[in-house]
Each structure stands twice: as C-alpha cells, then as structure tokens.
Amino acid sequence: MGSDPSEEEARQALRQLRDQYPEIETIPIVATTDTLEQYLTNNWVDEVYLDVPPKADLPVALINDLMCMGITIHTALTNLDDIESRHKNVEWICGHLTITTSLGYITGRDVFLKRLMDIVGGLFGSLFTLLLIPPVGLAIWLSDPGPIFFKQIRIGENGKKFHMYKFRSMYMDAEKRKKQLAQNSGQEDQLMFKLEHDPRIIGQKELPDGSWKKGVGGWIRDLSLDEFPQFFNVLKGDMSLVGTRPPTVDEWERYKPFHRARMSTRPGITGLWQVSSRSKIRDFDTVVRLDREYIENWSLRQDFHILFKTVWVVLTRKGAM
C-alpha cells in the first residue's frame, strides 16, 4: 500500500530542512510543524519546551494538542527578560494563567512557618517584657515622671500605619525638640535622624569638660531594653521578629519611589542592616540596599541567623538598635 501523499510531502520538507540546518545551537532537528504530531506519537517524549519569541502569539492550539497527549509543556516568555525582578512565577489567578513578578518570593508554607516563629518568639518576648516592666518602669519614672511606654505611629507593610510600642528612653518633650535638633545638626532633610549625643535621652547631658554623662535613658538604649515592648506588636501581627525597621510617618512621606521597596515586607524588631553595623550606619541608601538584599534573598535560615547575630550584637553592646 502506498503512503499518504501529504505524509510524503512532510517528510520531504523535513529532509530539506535537515539538509539546510542539520542542527540549531547543537540541538538536532527531528520534526517540522507539519510532522511534529506524528513524531510525538511515534516517539517517547516526556516534556516539551516552547521558546516563544517576543511579541509572538502563544501557540494555543499546539499547546492544547500536546496537553491532550499528556505531555508537560514549558513555555518561555522571552519578552519578560527585560523586567528587573529576581522572581518571576507562573500562577493561576481568577481563572487566568498569570506571570507574577516580585522583589521577593515566599511560599504559603514559608508564610505559615515565619508567622509561627513570630508567635512563639513573640510569646516569650512578651513574657520577658512583663518581667522588665517593674525595674525598667521604676527607673524611668524616678528619672523623668510620666508614662513608662512610648507609643508612636509607624509605617508597616505596604504603607499600613500602626502604633509601635517602646519603653520610653527620652524626655516627654522629645518629639517637639526633634525638629529644632534636626535643623541644628543639618539633618532636617535626612530620611534617618540620628545624633551621637542626643540631649533628649533621659539623664544625658554635656559636662563642663565637653564629655557627656549617660543617664537611665542611655543605658536602656545601649542594652536595647526599649525595644522589648515591640514583642506585643509581633503578637498582634503588625511586626515580625525579623524584617525592615518601620519608618515614622514624616520619613515615609519624604521617601522616593525606590525607597518604598523596603516596606514591601512586614517590619521587624531586628533586621539585616541592624546586625551589619547597627548605629554606625548613617547613610540611608545603604540601609535601603541592605533591606532590599534581605527581601530578595529571604529564607527562614537567614531569619534565624539574623536573630542569633542580634543576640550577640546586643550582648556585646555594639551600638543601639
């Protein structure tokens, strides 16, 4: 019995293609568009990789045919290569196959484990904070009568506002004095305000010989005791044990677009830049770079490493967080 003329024409086309292009980038040619279905039927093929050129239509009919044959299909969408993102993932969203690009990527399992770690750590930290209230609170009240806790609106994940708690280490009028001190120190336009010797800290004052006396507030900050009430924020879900430090509202309002990337994750009590040099880092762009590095390379292992390093940094008192 003679062969089908159409099949013979297809085979002839394949022979001509092989004569012209024996292989493409070391990959041998085994079929054309017309003979692909027959080749896949007669040969064992587990998976197919489709390289879709930029702006080209997706070969939906071909993909459906391959799916009907039970073959796994991988499709390269090369027009996404110019998008500056470390993470590109294919997902089903609202019934549509969607390419998701993001600065960082975390699975549902990882979200659960990170939150579980926050709850466990938040419980232990909150219990320890309760033990600190009597001695720390008494020291604060005796040095500067008033509330022992400081509550301030901070910016959380994706711009969400929340109240962050601390043990009060500064005088009651500290916020009012901040603007004048920023102007005097030339930091009124800075996105991160820090003074080596801050007169707003309880008990801190300059002596006649030019040296500075450290008071209760200074010791609280050196030992990072002021940060412990934030474990309550962790339990509430406003913060995480590890993340990026939440900015104040006035700092957030002065952020440039690329600065806001650091708040694409839940803020933390500690983070990568805090354990890198803690208070020695004064350049805000360096802070943003370290925060982006943390988000892009996030892992539970990294969180544990930062937590252990934070304990070491606090115990060696290398600056205040």
Can you give the pLDDT of all 321 residues of the chain as single tens digits? 455 656 666 566 656 655 655 555 566 777 777 777 778 777 777 888 877 777 777 778 888 877 777 788 787 766 565 565 566 677 776 766 666 666 777 778 889 999 999 999 999 999 999 999 999 999 999 999 999 999 999 999 888 999 999 999 999 988 888 888 877 777 776 777 777 788 898 988 888 887 888 889 999 998 899 999 999 999 999 999 999 999 999 888 888 877 888 888 899 999 998 887 655 666 788 888 889 889 888 899 999 999 999 988 888 766 444
What is the C-alpha to C-alpha distance for residues 97 and 77, in angstroms, rounded to an integer? Answer: 13
pLDDT at position 53: 73
pLDDT at position 321: 46
pLDDT at position 1: 47
What is the C-alpha to C-alpha distance for residues 205 and 184, in angstroms, rounded to an integer? Answer: 17
Q: Are 227 and 278 contacting, i.e. CB atoms less than 8 angstroms apart?
A: no
Q: Are 154 and 230 contacting, i.e. CB atoms less than 8 angstroms apart?
A: no
pLDDT at position 227: 95
pLDDT at position 163: 97
pLDDT at position 243: 94
* Beta partners for residue 112, in sequence order: none
pTM exceeds cut of 0.75: no
Centre a 10 Å sphere on the Cβ of residue 30 and count the other Cβ atoms it contains. 13
Residue at token pair 């805090």: 274
